[in-house]
Amino acid sequence: SAVISQKPSRDICQRGTSLTIQCQVDSQVTMMFWYRQQPGQSLTLIATANQGSEATYESGFVIDKFPISRPNLTFSTLTVSNMSPEDSSIYLCSVGKYNEQFFGPGTRLTVL
């Protein structure tokens, strides 16, 4: 398995601002993922972040809105840019080990 931490655990932000979420893993992993979980809905993959390459975004998500960094094998950031109330959600990072994925505790974001 893997121990994953996220910062911040929660935040309340104003419309139009940006928030950067950090994800730290206790071991080196190749694949990291960012998900969004909205109330009553499935977890939705935003992007896959592999170290040394550009993040791969899923349909409906773009780099300008959700820029991702992956500077090394234990760390990644997701920025939610120019936020609107529709971005209020839980954002989760996960790591892939073999064919299993392990999740962090999530960042609960509220946009006013």
Partner 1 sequence: QKEVEQDPGPLSVPEGAIVSLNCTYSNSAFQYFMWYRQYSRKGPELLMYTYSSGNKEDGRFTAQVDKSSKYISLFIRDSQPSDSATYLCAMMGLTGGGNKLTFGTGTQLKVEL
Closer CB to partner 1, 44 or 81, in the complex:
44
Can you tell me the distance from the alpha carbon of 35 to that of 41, in angstroms, rounded to the nearest whole number?
Answer: 12
Q: Is 31 in the site for partner 1 (CB under 8 A)?
A: yes
Contact between 73 and partner 1 per CB under 8 A: no
Out of 45, 67, 69, 73, point to the residue binding partner 1 (CB under 8 A): 45
Nearer to partner 1, 19 or 92 (CB): 92
51 binds partner 1 (CB under 8 A): no
Map tokens 């592999």 to a residue: 50
d(CA 8, CA 75): 14
SS3 108: strand
What is the three-class DSSP state of 96?
A: strand
CA angle 12, 25, 76 (to 5 degrees): 60
Under the binding rule (CB under 8 A), the answer on residue 13 touching partner 1 is: no
Segment interacting with partner 1 (CB under 8 A) among 14-22, 40-48, 60-68, 72-80: 40-48
Residue 27 or 84: which CB sits closer to partner 1?
Answer: 27
Query: Does residue 8 interact with partner 1 by CB under 8 A?
Result: no
* Cα separation, 107 vs 98, whole angstroms: 25
